[in-house]
Chains A and B, each alone.
Chain A
Amino acid sequence: MSDLVLEGRRLRHSFGRTRVLDDVDLAVRAGEIVAVMGPSGSGKSTLLHLLAGLLRPDAGEVWLAGERFDTLSERRRSERRLAELGFVFQFGDLVPELTVEENVELPLRLMGVHARAARARASVMLERLGVVEHASKRLGEVSGGQAQRAAVARALVHTPPVILADEPTGALDTTTGELVLEAFVHAAREQGTAVVLVTHELRVASWATRDVLLRDGRIVGGSAAPSSGPSEPLAEVAP
């Protein structure tokens, strides 16, 4: 049985008359961390939005857990996104009316997890991301970097099989950025989570097990297909 969890096949997308992605293939296995790199405007974020089902491709296909994903109804895609994908945007995207911990609990509560269990699980994730002491604060009371780490905690809290992250460390300094990357490594190693990480920072890409390089909407370097053997050893998890 294939352990491919997410696959984009010959993906093509344009905004107006501008072609931003052209016949891009990307296949991701469980437990892999794939860095998608490239200069601004190379199509990195568009690729991530197509894989997340937030955009529909003009041509090509997206497969999630062995099933066609891009052709599902909006409602069905939303349901599957909630259960199977964790998404980290460049700038947080939390609900401002809720506290940090309520934000992190949200995916679990929407999936019907009991309040007490959801809170306990959220605490573990906030602890891992170094923001547990801000759990009961509202979004306006925490810094941008703390909100970003809370957003990562929210993406990971329900242990989805796939994490899609768009410049998740862009607003963070090196040390707090490493907490986020450690959390991804932990999820990949311990839960077999597949992580697709859009970044323009090579230092961040060095945490991935492999990388692809996009330029002008095409893959021009790296490796778009998973290796056939066991995946490369991941960076060690913090003791």
Chain B
Amino acid sequence: MALLALLDEGPTHGFDLKRRYDALLGHERELKYGQVYSTLQRLERDGLAAGVGIEAGGGADRKLYAITAQGVTELDQWLTTPDPVSGRPAEVFTRVVLALVSGRDADQVLEAHRRAFLDRMRVLTARRHAGDVVDRLAGDYEVAHLDADLRWIELASVRLKDIAEKVRATGSKGTDA
């Protein structure tokens, strides 16, 4: 869907789409060319994009694509329809529970993650004047998520002693959980 949104800027070919995607949204996870071309073929098959010619001097990979009217409708709908909100816990949650269940020191697990998350947040804060406005937005997004994880770590640290025994009992052999 992201490629469809970029096609909405005007007709272009796969190579430029990849460059545009990486610059705007890549952030340490760039698109592969294979993904771009297979996505464009799928968009064309579904009637959301259409081939509108070949760029002069180019080969098959210089095929120009444009968004269709159906594609615009689909894009508008996608942008304003949130994904189902999942309560999927982060890896740190899993490790804390497993540390508690196995009778290990969950405080150490929390402190190690707290340190790593805060270090990452510090790197992002130091970089806040680097890059363009989209980089800044991506940095703010990551900082906000790290902040949420760190708040949970703080909360868990305070509550750990109270819950350690209960967690050990939950799901242990001989219970129904």
Flag B131-156 by CB within 8 Å of A: 1 or 0 each: 00000000000010011001100100
Binds A, one of B37-45, B94-102, B122-130: B122-130
Cβ-defined contact, A221 with B114, below 8 A: yes
Stretch at the interface among A97-105, A127-135, A229-237: A229-237
B121 touches A221 (CB 8 A): no
Check B118–A236 contact: CB distance below 8 A: no
The main secondary structure of chain A at its interface with chain B is loop
Interface of B is mostly: helix
Q: Report yes or no: A211 in contact with B125, Cβ–Cβ below 8 A.
A: no
Contacts of B143 in A (CB 8 A): 203, 206
Q: How many inter-chain contacts with C-beta < 8 Å in the A-B complex?
A: 42
CB pair B121 A236 closer than 8 Å: no
Q: What size tier do the contact residues of chain B reach? A: 20 to 34
- Quick check: is B158 within 8 A (CB to CB) of the other chain? yes
User: What distance in Å separates the Cβ of B160 from its nearest Cβ neighbour in chain A?
Assistant: 11
B111 within 8 A of A: yes
Taking CB atoms, residues of chain A closer than 8 Å to B130 are 236
Known: A203-B143, A206-B118. A235 touches B151 (CB 8 A): no
- Chain B, Cβ-Cβ closest to A40: B158
A207-B129 contact, Cβ under 8 Å, with A39-B154, A202-B147, A221-B111: no
A203 partner, pick from B127, B129, B147, beta carbons under 8 A: B147
Residues of B within 8 Å of A1, CB to CB, are none
Other than the given A202-B121, A203-B147, A207-B125, 17 more pairs (CB < 8 A) read A39-B158, A202-B118, A202-B147, A202-B154, A203-B143, A206-B118, A206-B122, A206-B125, A208-B122, A221-B111, A221-B114, A235-B126, A236-B126, A236-B127, A236-B129, A236-B130, A239-B129
Q: What are 18 A-B residue pairs whose CB atoms fall within 8 Å in the complex?
A: A39-B154, A39-B158, A201-B147, A202-B121, A202-B147, A202-B151, A202-B154, A205-B118, A206-B118, A206-B143, A207-B122, A207-B125, A208-B122, A221-B111, A233-B126, A235-B126, A235-B128, A236-B126
